[in-house]
Amino acid sequence: MSNSKPVSTPLVPGARLAKVTGAGNIDAKLYQGIVGSIMYGMLYTCPDLAFTIQQLLQFSLNPANMHFQAGK
Q: Taking the model in full, what pTM does it have?
A: 0.59
pLDDT digits (tens, 9 = 90+) for 5-40: 776 766 766 777 777 776 667 788 888 888 888 888
Looking at residue 24, its pLDDT comes to: 60
The C-alpha atoms of residue 61 and residue 24 are separated, in whole angstroms, by: 9
pLDDT digits (tens, 9 = 90+) for 48-59: 778 778 888 888
Report whether 31 contacts 63 (CB < 8 A). yes
The C-alpha atoms of residue 63 and residue 46 are separated, in whole angstroms, by: 24
Backbone conformation region of residue 6, classed left if phi is above 0, alpha if psi is from -120 to 50, else beta: beta
Neighbour tally for 57: CB within 10 Å: 14
Neighbour tally for 15: CB within 10 Å: 11
